[in-house]
């Protein structure tokens, strides 16, 4: 069965029946990708000049909106202000979309972050660990999240080229493959990493497993080639939504994408038992995040 569910409404703030919202929430939390081929983000005449990789300062893969300011961007103050306004307008639309589709998540959308990615999705010279053309779940070495979910809204703003992903097998199946290969963390290391500022807070056992699932899957080229997967195309003017800590995904091609990230506690989910935290606790028989 395909992990991609296509919905055909055309608004950032659709009016949906309870039944339609339930279907979307279940598909999302089961690890699906919600594809919205008629929800696009229109650039103004003036904003079309931002369709160039030259706006990136070359250090990060994305230009990030931090409050009302951008990080990682080149250009004059006026250019930066206009690009910030464009990204903020996208973020407002993406927030409305998440609230309309998944009202339970609404309290957490206020803290959402957004970015603009003007660089090609693949082709940058990066190490295997940073190579997002390999199937992976998102897990970030410097940002332990202790089970918090990573909900992402993406829009392809390229006027002519698709953004193409590979989408892999369900999270639980992937975890069953790689968990036996993951060693326990070295005692004391998470405290040291937090103390010297390498990580923002201590890595939990959950974070240790998620980082290792990310790394083990990317490092295994046989798995990359042979695991169950499908190619998914996101045409120009398409928006898609998924939990990127759960969906095995890989960039194949594309350029010019806007993205919004919302972090959600597991308790905000419609069905917390489907979260990676719950799945990993069930598979390992352990509590993976200490009580606060």
Which parts of this chain interact with Fe ion (CB under 5 A)?
138
Nearer to Fe ion, 208 or 214 (CB): 214
- Given a contact cutoff of 8 angstroms between Cβ atoms, the answer to whether 211 and 137 are in contact is no
Residues 83, 269: Cα–Cα separation, whole Å: 33
Nearer to Fe ion, 43 or 136 (CB): 136
Nearer to Fe ion, 98 or 137 (CB): 137
Please report how close the Cβ of residue 249 comes to Fe ion at its closest, in angstroms.
6
Please report how close the Cβ of residue 174 comes to Fe ion at its closest, in angstroms.
14
Nearer to Fe ion, 29 or 245 (CB): 245
Residues 269, 202: Cα–Cα separation, whole Å: 24
CA distances from 63 to 10, 11, 168, 190, 258 (A): 27, 25, 27, 29, 9
The secondary structure element, H or E, covering residue 240 is strand 239-243
Please report how close the Cβ of residue 213 comes to Fe ion at its closest, in angstroms.
12
Closest CA to 40 of 141, 129, 158: 158
- Given a contact cutoff of 8 angstroms between Cβ atoms, the answer to whether 247 and 41 are in contact is no
Nearer to Fe ion, 190 or 238 (CB): 238
Please report how close the Cβ of residue 160 comes to Fe ion at its closest, in angstroms.
24
Ramachandran area for residue 278 (φ above 0: left; ψ -120 to 50: alpha; else beta): alpha
Please report how close the Cβ of residue 137 comes to Fe ion at its closest, in angstroms.
7
Residue facing Fe ion at closest CB distance? 138
């Amino acid at each position: 069965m395909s992990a991609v569910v296509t919905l055909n409404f055309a608004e950032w703030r659709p009016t949906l029946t309870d039944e339609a919202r339930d279907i979307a929430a279940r598909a999302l939390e089961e690890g699906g990708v919600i594809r919205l081929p008629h929800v696009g983000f229109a650039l103004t005449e003036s904003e079309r000049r931002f369709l160039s990789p030259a706006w990136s300062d070359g250090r990060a893969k994305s230009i990030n909106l931090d409050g009302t300011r951008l990080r990682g961007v080149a250009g004059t103050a006026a250019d930066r202000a206009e690009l910030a306004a464009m990204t903020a307008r996208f973020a407002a639309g993406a927030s409305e979309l998440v609230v309309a589709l998944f009202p339970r998540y609404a309290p957490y959308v206020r803290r959402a972050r957004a970015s603009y990615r003007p660089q090609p999705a693949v082709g940058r010279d990066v190490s295997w660990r940073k190579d997002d053309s390999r199937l992976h779940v998102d897990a970030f070495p410097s940002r332990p999240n202790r089970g918090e979910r990573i909900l992402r809204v993406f829009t392809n703003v390229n006027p002519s080229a698709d953004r193409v992903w590979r989408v892999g097998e369900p999270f639980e199946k992937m975890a069953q493959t790689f968990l036996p290969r993951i060693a326990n963390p070295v005692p004391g290391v998470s405290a040291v990493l937090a103390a010297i500022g390498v990580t923002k807070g201590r890595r939990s056992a959950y974070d240790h497993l998620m980082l290792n699932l990310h790394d083990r899957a990317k490092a295994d080229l046989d798995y990359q080639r042979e695991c169950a997967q499908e190619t998914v195309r996101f045409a120009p003017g398409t928006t898609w939504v998924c939990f990127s800590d759960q969906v095995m995904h890989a960039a194949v091609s594309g350029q010019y994408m806007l993205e919004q990230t919302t972090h959600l506690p597991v308790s905000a989910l419609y069905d917390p038992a489907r979260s990676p935290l719950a799945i990993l606790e069930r598979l390992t028989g352990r509590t993976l995040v200490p009580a606060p």
